[in-house]
Amino acid sequence: MPLPKIVTPTFELDLPSSGKTIKYRPFLVKEEKLLVIALESEDSQQITSAIKAVISDCILTKDVKVEHLPTFDIEYLFLNIRGKSVGEVVDVNIICPDDGVTEVKVSINLDDIEVVTDENHTKTVKLDDTYCMDMKYPSLEQFIRNNFEFEDPNLDQSFELIGTCIDKIYDNEEVWSTGDVSPEEVKEFLEQLNSSQFKEIEKFFSTMPKLSHTIDVKNPKTKKKNKVTLEGLSSFFA
């Protein structure tokens, strides 16, 4: 007689970027093992392949491709899959801001973590009175770099990220799609910008949707209460 098949529960969530409701399931043991092996390798290509394969397998809504989702969608999805797989409460060590030294362990319910958007956020960057850029959100590759890279990013990587997030550049008469030019040409375009123009691009990244949760932390030494805001997936699994 064959062994019984275990029924895996399914869940639903709304993708923050579109509001689309998708179905997903938790990680299975074999998938957790794949992730652990990939992370232990510290090889970015292996980690990317493993995370793409595992999340893709866990998404049950067939018309959703993980490589096409923006970073914050992937983080939110990964957070929820992780919560349904191994527990919805995580313990995080927080450094108390009032003295910058004392560490406090805080339990956080993953269901309380949301994706928040700055009201000033826009995908259009105005460079000057002539040129504007339409931006697109970072996707799977940047999700890996944000949360699973083992080296600090350098300037070239920052320019590469910005370049991949530029959809098009335009003025009143012409439109230039970055899909029609080489990454080197995009980099050259960025290098000719002045400081104030570059800050407008940085504003797109600093204000874009992100996982965020604010908690109250009491310093056991000073007895002072602090409000601490955690942002990004890596903050909740540190």
Going by pLDDT thresholds of 50, 70 and 90, the confidence category of residue 140 is: confident
Q: Which residues of 140-152 are buried (b: 16+ CB within 10 A; e: fewer)?
A: bbbbbbbbbeeee
Mean per-residue pLDDT over the chain, rounded: 88
**Of residues 152, 150, 154, the one with CA closest to residue 39:** 150
Q: What is the CATH number of domain 7-87?
A: 3.30.2220.20
Residue 87 to residues 84, 91, 109: CA-CA distances in angstroms?
Answer: 6, 11, 9
**Strand order in 225-231's β-sheet?**
114-116, 210-218, 225-231
Going by pLDDT thresholds of 50, 70 and 90, the confidence category of residue 151 is: low
pLDDT of 155: 62
Above 70 in pLDDT, residue 93?
Answer: yes
How many degrees, rounded to 5, is the angle at CA 115 between CA 109 and CA 116? Answer: 120
Are 230 and 236 contacting, i.e. CB atoms less than 8 angstroms apart? yes
Question: In the chain, where does DSSP find H-type helix?
Answer: 29-41, 44-58, 71-86, 140-148, 155-164, 183-191, 195-207
- Write out pLDDT tens, residues 31-74: 888 888 887 887 777 888 888 888 899 999 989 988 889 989 99
Domain ranges of the chain: 7-87, 88-115+211-238, 118-139+153-207
Going by pLDDT thresholds of 50, 70 and 90, the confidence category of residue 121 is: very high
Work out whether the CA dihedral 19, 23, 26, 29 comes out positive or negative: negative
Residue 198 to residues 95, 158, 204: CA-CA distances in angstroms?
Answer: 32, 12, 10
Q: What's the mean pLDDT in 126-145? A: 88
